Structure 1
Amino acid sequence: MRNSIFLFVFLGLIFSRTHAQFFKKDNGLAHTFSIVARDEKTGEIAVGVQSHWFSVGTSVSWAEAGVGAVATQSFTNKSFGVRGLALLKSGKTAHEALDILLSDDAGREVRQVGIVDAKGNVANFTGKNCVDFAGDLKGKNYAVQSNMMLTDAVPAAMAKSFEANAQLPLAERVLEALKAAQKVGGDIRGKQSAVLLVVKGEATDKPWDDNHLVDLRVDDHPEPLAELQRLLTVQRAYDHMNNGDLAVEKNDMPLAMKEYGAAMKMFPGNLEMQYWTAITLANNGDIQKAALMLKAIYAKEPNWRKMTQRLPKAGLLTVKENELKILVQ
C-alpha cells in the first residue's frame, strides 16, 4: 500500500510540474537501463533492455531492418518507437528523429530515449525530471541510457563493456553490456524483465526474414538476464540445426553432421535435436548409427517411436521397410 501511495504522489508531483497529462494507460512506466547499437561489420542493429517492470519488451524496444532501433523508457511514450522508426525510414538521422519526437512532447522532462540508425548515427536524451540515478552516454555505433539506478556507474559500465567486446556477435555483445550494468548495481528496485532484439542492417524484399534475427523476451523472472542468456544459447543451437538442414538440402552431409553436432553440444538435453539428427543419418543410409541414437531417445520418451512410424507417409523418412523395422525396435 505504501508503495502505491508513493507512486500516486510522485505522479502527481510530476504532473504539476509539466501541466500536461502525458502519463497514459497505454504507455506506462519503464525505469530501466538499455542500449541501442549497430554492428559495424555486419550492419546488424540491436536494442537490449532490463528493468524491474513487467514485460518491458512490449513498450521499450523497437527495431526495423535497414532502418534502426529505438529505446523509449522512464515514463514511456510508445509512440516514440513507431514514429521514431518512421522518421528514420523517411531519411532522418537518429539525432533529427529524436529532436522531432521531443519537439511537441509535453512530458519530455520525464522521458528517456535512445536511437541508432542504419548508418550508425546515435542520439539519446534524458529528461531533467527522470529519477536518479539517471544518465546516458554515446559512442561509436551505440548509445546507452539508464534511470532509477542504484548507482551512477551504469552508463559508463555499459559503454566500457560494449567497446571491449567488439569480437562478439552483436546479440552477445549487447547482452554483455546489460550484464555490466547489473554488476554495478542496475535498477534500484531490482530485476524483473528483459529483452534482446536484433534485426538485419539492410532490408530485403523478404521482410519475414529481416525481422527478427534475434527476438527474445523475458517478461517476469527473478534473474532475467540469466534467462535471456539461456534463451540466446538455445537460439544459437537451433541456428546450427537450421544450418544443418540447409546442408542436407545441398547434399553436404559432412557439413550437416558438423552443424547438428554443434547444436547438440550446446543443448545436450534436447531430444528433438538428437532425433532429427538420427533421422538424417537414416536417410543418408547409416541405419545402424541412427538406430542406436533412436533407441536411446525412445528410452527417454517412447512417443518418438510413434513419430518415426509416421514419417515415411510424409516423405520425411525414406528407408526400406526392413530398415524401418530396425529403426523402430
Structure 2
Amino acid sequence: MKALQIIVFLVASLFSLNAIKAQGVYKDQFAHTFSIVARDSITGEMAVGVQSHWFSVGTIVAWGQSGVGVVATQSFVNPAYGPEGLTLMQEGKSAKQALEILTAKDEGKNFRQLGFVDNKGNVASFTGKNCVASAEHFEGNNFAVQANMMLNDNVVPAMVKAYTDYADLPLAERVVKTMLAAQEAGGDIRGKQSAALIVVNGAPVENTWEDKKVDLRVDDSPEPLQELERLLKVHRAYEHMNRGDLAVEANDMTTALEEYGAAQKMFPDNLEMKYWTAIALANGGKVNEALPIFKDVFSSDGNWKTLTKRLPESGLLTVSEGDLKKIIEQ
C-alpha cells in the first residue's frame, strides 16, 4: 500500500512539472513575493517596491521608466513583462491595456502575478489562478498591491491601509512603510531575504542617467526592509550632498553650507558630510568655525588631511595660504 502511494505521488509530481513546463514557466525564476506599484498624484513620480525570500529580487521584479510607468512582475517571473509593458505604455496603451495584451499571449499566465501603473495613474493587477496561496491583489487610486505565497490573507489589506495612512509622506518613504506593514502582517511564508525600491520621474527625462530618482536594492539580508529604509535615508542625505556640490561649483557657498549641513544633521557621524561642511565654511570665510570640524575629521582618518592639501589646485578650497596652513595643522 505504501509503495502504491509513493508511485501515485511521483506520477502526480511528474504530471505537475510537465504541466508547468508545457505552459512556459518551468525555466522561469521564482520570485514569490509582495510588491506595490504606485504613482504620486501631485508630483507624478512612480514607484515599485518589493520584498521576497529570494536572492536579489529587485533585478527581475521591478521595472520603471520616467514619463511612462512602472511594472512589477512576480511569482514565476517572466522578466519580459517589464520592458515590453513599458514599451506598450510608452506607445500610449493604458496600464490595463498593456497588461491584457501581454497576458493574452503568455501560455504561463496562470503562474504569473503582475502590477502595472501608467503615467496617468491608471492601474492594473493580475493574479494567475495557479499562484501559491495566500495570493491576491488590490487595485486602488494610483496604486496597486500584489502578494503571493504569503503567510496569511492579512498582508494585502495591511498594505492598502498603510499606503492610505501614510499619504503625507514622499512616495518612496510611503512605499517603504507599506512594505513594512506587509511584513508585520505576516509577509512571505518562507521569510525574508531581499528587497528593492525604484522611483522614476512623472515626466520624460532628457538623459537616460536621470531616469531613476531612487534606485535601491538589498540583495541578501536577514532584515531587508529595515536595511532598505536605512539606505533610503542615506540616499536623502546624499541628495543634500549632491546639491551642495553643485552649489560649490557655482561658488554659492551659502547654499552649499545649507545643503551640507542638512546632510550632516541626518548623519552626524559621517566623515564625508562633516568634511564638506567644513570646506563650505572655510570657503565662505568662516575658517575659525571650520577648524574644529577639520580637527575631528583628521583625527579619525588622516587621509582627509592629505586630500585637503590637494583641493586648492582644483579650486575646491579657496582660502589663503595662511588659512590653509591653519587647517592643515589641525
| Global fold match (TM > 0.5) | yes
Q: Cα RMSD over matched residues?
A: 1.8
Moved more, 274-283 or 64-73: 274-283
Instruction: Provide the C-alpha distance between the structure 1 equivalents of 2:313 and 2:44, rounded to a whole number of angstroms.
Output: 43
Letter of the 1:321 counterpart: E
How many percent identity over aligned positions?
A: 57
Letter of the 1:48 counterpart: G
Counterpart for residue 264 of structure 1: 264
- Mark the runs of 5 or more structure 2 residues left unpaired by the alignment: 1-9
CA contact (8 A) 2:46 2:200 kept: yes
Letter of the 1:229 counterpart: E
Secondary structure class of the residue paired with 2:35 = strand
Letter of the 2:89 counterpart: L
Distance 1:14 1:115, change over 3 A: farther
2:153 corresponds to 1:152: yes
Instruction: Provide the C-alpha distance between the structure 2 equivalents of 1:250 and 1:51, rounded to a whole number of angstroms.
Output: 44
Counterpart for residue 76 of structure 1: 77
Instruction: Provide the C-alpha distance between the structure 1 equivalents of 2:51 and 2:155, rounded to a whole number of angstroms.
Output: 12
Output aligned runs, 1:309-324, within 5 Å.
Answer: 309-324=309-324
CA contact (8 A) 1:62 1:81 kept: yes
Q: 1:258 offset after TM fit, Å?
A: 2.7
Letter of the 2:275 counterpart: Y
Counterpart for residue 298 of structure 1: 298
Letter of the 1:143 counterpart: A
CA contact (8 A) 2:240 2:262 kept: yes
Q: 1:242 offset after TM fit, Å?
A: 2.0
Letter of the 1:80 counterpart: Y
Q: 1:248 offset after TM fit, Å?
A: 4.1
Distance 1:12 1:71, change over 3 A: farther
CA contact (8 A) 1:49 1:195 kept: yes
Moved more, 313-322 or 192-201: 313-322
Distance 1:192 1:181, change over 3 A: same
Counterpart for residue 23 of structure 1: 25
State the aligned residue count: 320
Counterpart for residue 4 of structure 1: none
Moved more, 102-111 or 261-270: 261-270
Instruction: Provide the C-alpha distance between the structure 2 equivalents of 1:266 and 1:115, rounded to a whole number of angstroms.
Output: 34
TM-score (norm 2): 0.93
2:99 corresponds to 1:98: yes
Counterpart for residue 65 of structure 2: 64
Instruction: Provide the C-alpha distance between the structure 2 equivalents of 1:165 and 1:13, rounded to a whole number of angstroms.
Output: 46
Letter of the 2:238 counterpart: Y
Q: 1:207 offset after TM fit, Å?
A: 2.9
Secondary structure class of the residue paired with 1:263 = helix
Letter of the 1:305 counterpart: K
Output aligned runs, 1:194-205, within 5 Å.
Answer: 194-205=195-206
Q: 1:252 offset after TM fit, Å?
A: 4.8
Distance 1:9 1:193, change over 3 A: farther
Q: 1:24 offset after TM fit, Å?
A: 5.4
Letter of the 1:47 counterpart: V
Q: 1:165 offset after TM fit, Å?
A: 1.1
- Mark the runs of 5 or more structure 1 residues left unpaired by the alignment: 1-7
CA contact (8 A) 1:18 1:106 kept: no
Instruction: Provide the C-alpha distance between the structure 2 equivalents of 1:9 and 1:36, rounded to a whole number of angstroms.
Output: 40
Q: 1:205 offset after TM fit, Å?
A: 1.9
Instruction: Provide the C-alpha distance between the structure 1 equivalents of 2:250 and 2:46, rounded to a whole number of angstroms.
Output: 30
Counterpart for residue 172 of structure 1: 173
Moved more, 241-250 or 110-119: 241-250
1:199-239 alpha-carbon deviations (Å, 9 max, x no partner)? 00000322322x21000000000000000001000011111
